[in-house]
């Protein structure tokens, strides 16, 4: 690829990322609030301050007397949070409650959901990242109405100046003289000029605020990925080269491991999406990570890297790279690294609608699709069943502590999401809010406690490594944010081997 071609692709990629849903715009969580199984959806306002919409659905058979929701901002110095809001029952469905909560600051929040019912009270924390990602446009009808009201207000103000200058000093019933009228005209001209200047000043202030909002829209940290094929430093290198991350004068929260790794890096072949890898680079510094790529087909690859900071703030770094030759045979840099290359071209696979994907050990994965089309912003629970080669339900083992991992992307890269059975949340962010204390004001203090918990969880006698119940089924709560053609990779672990199923789906607009 020529240098000019690489620059052009980089420009296009940056423009695409600027308008993309890299990471879910909304938060989906499925778990338990004490004895109550719940599904929580937090609809992001897209602006900060903004009003987030919270929906809590009880999944069990037990009814709730009351559901409370409370947004908690990441601030270890906060002694006591405000009182929670009471969620309103949704008419016609006693298992669903809704509420609206203000997110006043950019950063990491957790929404504390408390369910009160016959089995007592139970709570859970749902991590939410509050960032401004869009600029809300003023609708034309409202703009016309406000403009008309503004004209009336301006005319009213000018009329008040005219009347006050002409008649305010006259006795009751007296007729204004020519001198009074002349004075009123001068005052009205001056008042009109001052009002016009005030309007121009307000217009300039509004434009400045709008420009500041535009430039302040959230962008993930800039990262650069390079493939090195010679010397001792062979491998795939990812550098976080964003000034906001490298500036030593700025205090930033360090990274914490999520599912045992500081970074989850995904490679998706740009042409046809026919190759995929889920890797876990090793940190060489706070800004440099390296891994050994598997023997993927040469070509251009999209790079996505999930990281979590000690504050609970999560983001996905986005980059591109050219994969050339890789070592053969390949030796994984991490035991959790996995990859898959599909047979045939991406176009051939995208033309099929198969719900069954063969896996590398002879077993099969079946997508249990719901009847009907998948529609934007509608519940699209993604459920997959794994059958052993003899057709019996497979016994799945934990893959990095979860029953499965799911990665999906739209064919043009405008949507990319990494899901778990618990939803879109980061378990590391959830634990950060659970373990935080008022004294955690020094960066790294909480990270040490999180690392200790991770070591205990990964111990030889930990349930983290216990086989999961048979049944071979794994499910992911989600709702697609945009229409289009998507590819889905579902990863499970069986008999110590990571297996990846591949599926395609077309998502329709809600108007269809």
Whether 362 shows a pLDDT value over 90: the answer reads yes
Do residues 266 and 294 make contact, with C-beta atoms less than 8 angstroms apart? Answer: no
Q: Alpha carbon 57 to chain centroid distance?
A: 21
Q: How far is CA 247 from CA 219, 241, 251, 498, in A?
A: 17, 10, 9, 39
Whether 7 shows a pLDDT value over 70: the answer reads no
Q: Which residues, at least 6 apart from 293, have a Cβ–Cβ distance to it below 8 Å? A: 227, 235, 236, 267, 277, 279, 323, 326
What whole-number distance in Å separates Cα of residue 238 and Cα of residue 321? Answer: 10
Give me 103's structure tokens.
């997110």
For 487, counting Cβ atoms within 10 Å of its Cβ (0-12 exposed, 13-18 middle, 19+ buried), the class is buried
Higher pLDDT, 171 or 276: 276
What's residue 356's pLDDT?
A: 94
Q: What letter would DSSP give residue 335?
A: T
Do residues 379 and 41 make contact, with C-beta atoms less than 8 angstroms apart? Answer: no
Whether 470 shows a pLDDT value over 80: the answer reads no
Higher pLDDT, 360 or 451: 360
What's residue 12's pLDDT?
A: 40
Average pLDDT over residues 400-420: 94
Whether 2 shows a pLDDT value over 90: the answer reads no
Pairing between β-strand 21-22 and β-strand 415-419 as defined by DSSP bridges: parallel
What's residue 173's pLDDT?
A: 81
Q: Where are the alpha helices (DSSP H) in 90-135?
A: none
Q: What is the 3-state secondary structure (H, E, C) of 377-436?
A: CCCCCEEEEEECCCCCECCCECECCECCEEEEEECCCCEEEEEECCECCCHHHHHHHHHC
What's residue 60's pLDDT?
A: 82
Angle between helices 427-435 and 445-457 (to 10 degrees): 120
**Confidence band of 328 (pLDDT split at 50, 70, 90):** low
Q: How many distinct helices (H) and strands (E) make up the chain?
A: 7, 28
Do residues 444 and 355 make contact, with C-beta atoms less than 8 angstroms apart? Answer: no
**Confidence band of 81 (pLDDT split at 50, 70, 90):** confident
**Confidence band of 79 (pLDDT split at 50, 70, 90):** low
Look at residues 331, 227, 348, 294 and name the one whose alpha carbon lies nearest to residue 500. 294
Q: Please tell me the pTM assigned to this model.
A: 0.84
What's residue 350's pLDDT?
A: 42
Whether 6 shows a pLDDT value over 80: the answer reads no
CB count, 10 Å around CB of 360? 13
Q: What tens digit of pLDDT does each residue of 214-231 get?
A: 888 888 999 999 998 877
Q: How far is CA 406 from CA 166, 476, 508, in A?
A: 75, 8, 21
Average pLDDT over residues 390-394: 93
Q: How far is CA 118 from CA 63, 125, 473, in A?
A: 7, 21, 31
Q: What tens digit of pLDDT does each residue of 367-378 get?
A: 999 888 999 989
- Apex 58 CA angle, 56 and 64, nearest 5: 95
Whether 123 shows a pLDDT value over 90: the answer reads yes
């Amino acid at each position: 690829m020529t240098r000019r071609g690489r620059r052009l692709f980089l420009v296009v990629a940056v423009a695409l990322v600027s308008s993309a849903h890299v990471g879910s715009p909304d938060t989906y969580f499925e778990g338990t609030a004490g004895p109550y199984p719940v599904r929580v959806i937090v609809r992001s306002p897209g602006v900060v301050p903004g009003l987030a919409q919270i929906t809590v659905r009880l999944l069990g058979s037990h009814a709730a007397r009351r559901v409370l929701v409370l947004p908690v901002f990441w601030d270890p110095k906060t002694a006591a949070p405000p009182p929670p809001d009471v969620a309103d029952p949704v008419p016609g469905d006693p298992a669903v409650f809704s509420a609206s909560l203000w997110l006043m600051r950019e950063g990491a929040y957790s929404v504390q959901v408390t369910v009160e019912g016959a089995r007592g009270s139970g709570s859970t924390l749902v991590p939410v990242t509050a960032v401004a990602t869009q600029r809300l446009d003023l609708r034309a009808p409202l703009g016309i109405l406000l403009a008309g009201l503004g004209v009336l207000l301006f005319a009213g103000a000018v009329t008040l100046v005219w009347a006050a200058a002409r008649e305010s000093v006259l006795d009751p019933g007296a007729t204004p003289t020519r001198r009074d009228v002349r004075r009123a005209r001068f005052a009205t001209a001056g008042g009109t000029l001052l009002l016009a200047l005030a309007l121009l000043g307000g217009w300039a202030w509004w434009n400045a605020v709008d420009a500041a909002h535009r430039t302040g829209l959230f962008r993930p940290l800039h990262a650069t990925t390079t493939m090195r094929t010679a010397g001792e430093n062979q491998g795939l290198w990812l550098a976080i080269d964003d000034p906001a991350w490298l500036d030593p004068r700025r205090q930033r929260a360090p990274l914490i491991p999520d599912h045992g790794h500081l970074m989850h890096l995904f490679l998706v072949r740009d042409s046809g999406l026919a190759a995929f890898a889920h890797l876990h680079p090793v940190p060489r510094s706070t800004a440099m990570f390296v891994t050994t790529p598997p023997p993927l087909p040469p070509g251009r690859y999209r790079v996505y890297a999930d990281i979590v900071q000690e504050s609970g703030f999560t983001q996905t770094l986005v980059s591109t790279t050219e994969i050339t030759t890789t070592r053969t045979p390949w030796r994984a840099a991490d035991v959790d690294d996995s990859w898959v290359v599909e047979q045939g071209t991406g176009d051939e696979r995208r033309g099929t609608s198969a719900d069954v994907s063969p896996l590398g050990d002879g077993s099969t994965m079946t997508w249990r699709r719901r009847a009907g089309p998948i529609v934007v912003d509608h519940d699209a629970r993604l459920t997959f069943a794994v059958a052993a080669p003899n057709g019996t339900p497979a016994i799945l083992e934990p893959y990095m502590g979860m029953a499965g991992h799911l990665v999906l992307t739209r064919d043009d890269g405008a949507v990319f999401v990494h899901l778990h059975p618990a939803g879109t949340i980061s378990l590391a962010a959830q634990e950060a809010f659970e373990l935080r204390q008022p004294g955690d004001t020094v960066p790294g203090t909480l990270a040490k406690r999180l690392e200790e918990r991770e070591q205990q969880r990964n111990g030889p006698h930990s349930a983290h490594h216990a086989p999961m119940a048979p049944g071979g089924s794994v499910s992911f709560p989600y709702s697609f944010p945009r229409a289009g053609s998507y590819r889905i990779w579902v990863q499970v672990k069986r008999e110590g081997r990571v297996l990846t199923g591949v599926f395609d789906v077309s998502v329709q607009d809600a108007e269809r």
